[in-house]
Structure formats: C-alpha cells, structure tokens
A and B are shown apart, each in its own frame.
Chain A
Amino acid sequence: DIQMTQSPSSLSVSVGDRVTITCRASQGITSSLAWFQQKPGKAPKSLIYHASSLQSGVPSKFSGSGSGTDFTLTISSLQPEDFATYYCQQYNSYPLTFGGGTKVEIK
C-alpha cells in the first residue's frame, strides 16, 4: 500500500497568513493526488485534483503543486472560513489512501 504522510499535523495561524501543507507519498504516484477540506461535523469538500487543478467553484487562493512523491497545498491569505482540516489522497493505485490530515487552527 502507498503511505501518505502529511505535515504538519496541525498548525496555528492568523487571518491573512499564507499556509503551506506538505504531503509525501511512500512511492511515486505521478500527479494522481487530490486535496480535500473538512470542517467539523461536515462532509469533506473536494478542492484540488491531479495535484494542481482546482475543482469547479474552488477559489484561486487554493493552489497545489508537486508530482512523483512530494506535493504541497498552499492557501494564500487565510480567511476565517478556511480554518478546517485538510487531507491529501492518492488515487494512483489500490487501495486508495489518505494522509492523516492537517488541522489549521486560529492563533
């Protein structure tokens, strides 16, 4: 199975800050990497697919990059509605696997 390792597991930031979350795959997954946002008590929301493509309706303050084994999610100028937990996921091979999540909290 491909292991997905996210870092950090949590971070405290201020409104307006730029946030970068990293995700590392235990083996190469080309660009088959997605990012999701989840708020407490809610279903996950799809943000990014193919490592860097925004899902329809997702604001451009979210961006993704990387290929192979190393990926990043960047949120420019964090707003109150962006405080949530973020997950990466590989869909290159079965079983599909998720990272452990990064909780973004208000400082």
Chain B
Amino acid sequence: EGQLVESGGGLVQPGGSLRLSCTASGFTFSDHYMDWVRQAPGKGLEWVGRVRNKANDYTTEYAASVKGRFTISRDDSKTSLYLQMSNLKTEDTAVYYCVRVTASFFFDYWGQGTLVTVSS
C-alpha cells in the first residue's frame, strides 16, 4: 500500500519562504498526478494545487490564493513531491498534506501532514 510522508514544515516570518517535501513509497510515483491540500487551524480543507505526470508534461494547477507565490514540482527519480512557498502570509498558516490522485482523478492516499506557521 502506498505511503506519503511530508517534511519541511516549521515557523517562518511573513514574507519568508519555505519548501515542503513529500516522499512517496509503495506505488509507481511517476504514474500519478500529485496534489497539495492544506488545513488552517480549526478550519476546513483547502486545495492548494496539482502537478501532473511526465506524460502530461508536469503541468501544474493552483488555487487562486497561492498562484504566483507557490510552486509545485516533483522529482520522479526521488519519488518526491515539493511545494515551494514564497512571500508567505499569516493566512498560509496550516497543516499541509500531500495527496495521491488516481487515474480517474479522485484522491486516495494522504500523507500525515506537516505544519507551517507564518508568524513574526
């Protein structure tokens, strides 16, 4: 069964940058689209964005709230997904989850999440 493990969260000042990683195992990572979803403390789930697979040129999609500030990428040789976050705002404070997307475009596996706190 597939496993996703996020890392890289922590405390960062407003305007700062941070890169999250998600390492996958137990499935053919390169076949799948991968997403990031976040959850602010005490709030609901918010989709952040997607990176498609090599067959779809690694193209990306983003939520309007992060477009231009966040970049999603992947390294299939390392079975890893990344979220580069820049110009961070206090409202970006959240637990960030990486999620596997199936061939039929629904989610199945979720990582355990990593907490990002944006505060001065």
- Which residues from chain A sit less than 8 Å from chain B, CB to CB? 32, 34, 36, 38, 43-46, 49-50, 55, 87, 89, 91, 94-101
Contacts and interface: CB of A to CB of B under 8 A. Distances in A.
Contact of A91 (B63, B105, B110): B105
Say which size band chain B's interface belongs to.
20 to 34
B47 A49 contact: no
Contacts of B47: 89, 95-98
Nearest to B6: A43
B106 A91 contact: yes
Contacts of B110: 43-46
Contacts of B111: 43
Contacts of B107: 34, 36, 46, 49, 89, 91
A46 B37 CA distance: 13
Contacts of A49: 102, 104, 106-108
8 contacts: A36-B107, A38-B45, A45-B110, A89-B45, A89-B107, A96-B35, A96-B47, A98-B44
